Amino acid sequence: MLNRREFLAASLAAASTAQSRSELEPIVGPELFGAKGDGIGDDTSAFDALSARINAAGGGTIALAPGRTYRVGRQPGASSADRQSPEPIIALRNLARPLIIQGNGACLKTSAGLYYGSFDRAGKPARRPMPNLDRSLVASPYSAAISVSGCVAPITIFDVELDGNLPGLALGESWGGPGIQIPGTGLSLIDNGNEERIENVLIHHQPLDGAIISGLPERSARSCIDHLICRHNGRQGLSLVGGRGYDFVDCEFAHTGRTRLATAPGAGVDLEAEEKVIRDVTFDRCKFLDNVGPGLVAESGDTADVRFNDCMFVGTSSWSAWPRKPSLVFERCSFAGAVVNAYASQIPGLATRFVGCSFTDDPRHSPDGKLFFGGGHAGPVVALGASDNVLFHDCRFILRRLGVLPWSWRAIYQNCEMLQVSKTPAMTKGKFIGRNVINGPVDLYGSMILGSVLLNGKAVPRGRVGSDFAPW
Count CA within 13 A, CB hemisphere, residue 414. Answer: 11
- CA dist 226 and 79 (Å) reads 40
pLDDT single digits (tens) 93-118: 999 999 999 999 999 999 999 999 99
Strands 267-271 and 223-231: unpaired
Query: What does DSSP assign to residue 82?
Result: H
What's the pTM? 0.92
Q: Which residues contact 100 (CB under 8 A, 6 or more apart)?
A: 11, 14, 15, 18, 60, 61, 62, 155, 156, 157
* In 167-235, beta strands by DSSP E: 170-171, 185-190, 196-204, 209-214, 223-231
Preceding omega of 363 cis (within 30 degrees of 0): no
- CA dist 330 and 72 (Å) reads 40
Helix H segments across 22-121?
44-57, 80-83
Backbone angles phi, psi at 20, to 5 degrees: -70, -25
Task: Indicate if the pLDDT at residue 5 is higher than 50.
Answer: no
- CA dist 205 and 213 (Å) reads 18
pLDDT single digits (tens) 63-94: 999 999 999 999 876 555 556 678 999 999 99
pLDDT single digits (tens) 146-172: 999 999 999 999 999 999 999 999 999
